[in-house]
Chains A and B, each alone.
Chain A
Amino acid sequence: MNTKQLKQRIAFSIFGTMSFIVVAILVIILGFIVIRGMSAISWEFLTEMPKDGMTKGGIFPAIVGTGCLVLGSMVFAFPIGVLSGIYINEYLTESWLKKFLRMMTNNLAGVPSIVFGLFGMALFVNYLSFGDSIIAGSMTLGLLALPVVIRLTEEALKTVDDNLRLGSYALGATKIQTIQKVVIPIAFPNIMTGLILSIGRVSGETAPILFTVAAYFLPRLPHSLSDQVMALPYHLYVLATSGTNMEESRPMAYGTALVLVSIVLIINVSASLLRRRIQKKVKMN
Chain B
Amino acid sequence: MTQAEAKNVNVWYDSFQALKDISMTFEPNTVTALIGPSGCGKSTFLRLFNRMNDLIPLFRVEGLVTVNGQNVYSKDIRLDEMRKKVGMVFQKPNPFPKSIFENVAYGLRVNGISNRKEIEETVERSLKQAALWDEVKDSLKKSAMELSGGQQQRLCIARALAVQPKLILMDEPASALDPISTNRIEELIFELKKDYTIIIVTHNLQQAGRISDATAFFYLGELVEFNLTKKIFLNPDNERTQNYITGRFG
Contact indicator B99/A172 (Cβ below 8 Å)? no
Contact in complex: A170, B88 (CB < 8 Å): yes
Given contacts A170-B83, A170-B87, A285-B102, contact A161 B94 (CB under 8 A): yes
| Contacts A168-B106, A171-B106 given; does A284 touch B94 at CB 8 Å | no
Summarize A's interface: helix, strand, loop or mixed. helix
List B residues 85-123 near A (Cβ within 8 Å).
Answer: 86-88, 90, 92, 94-99, 102, 106-107, 109-111
Q: Is the CB of A185 within 8 A of B97?
A: yes
Q: A170-B86, A171-B163 are in contact. List 6 more A-B contacts (CB 8 A).
A: A94-B57, A167-B95, A167-B96, A168-B96, A186-B96, A186-B97
Tell me which residues across on chain A come within 8 A of B42, comparing CB atoms.
Answer: none
Q: With a CB–CB cut-off of 8 A, which chain B residues contact A4?
A: none
Our pick among A161, A170, A283 for the contact of B52 (Cβ within 8 Å) is A170
Of the candidates B57, B84, B92, B106, the one whose C-beta lies within 8 Å of that of A163 is B92
Q: How far is the CA of A283 from the CA of B102 in the complex (A)?
A: 12
Contact of B107 among A95, A164, A166, A172 (CB under 8 A): A172
Contact bitstring A71-113, B, C-beta under 8 A = 1, else 0: 0000000000000000000000111000000000000000000
Q: Output the least CB separation between A157 and chain B (Å).
A: 15
Asked if A166 and B90 make an inter-chain contact with CB atoms under 8 angstroms apart, the answer reads yes
Interface residues in chain B, defined as those with a beta carbon under 8 Å from any beta carbon in chain A: 50, 52, 55, 57, 79-81, 83-84, 86-88, 90, 92, 94-99, 102, 106-107, 109-111, 143, 145, 156, 159-160, 162-163
Closest 7 CB pairs of A and B: A172-B84, A171-B107, A170-B88, A173-B110, A163-B94, A167-B94, A172-B80
The answer to whether A15 has its CB under 8 Å from any CB of chain B is no
Chain A residues touching B, range: 20 to 34
Listed A/B pairs (5) with beta-carbon separation below 8 Å: A95-B57, A171-B107, A171-B160, A172-B81, A172-B107
Which residues does chain A contribute within 8 Å of B57, judged by CB atoms? 93-95
Within 8 A of B (CB), among A13-51: none
Report the separation of the CA atoms of residues A181 and B109 in the bound assembly, to the nearest whole angstrom: 10
A182-B88 Cα distance, complex, nearest whole Å: 17
Taking CB atoms, residues of chain A closer than 8 Å to B109 are 181
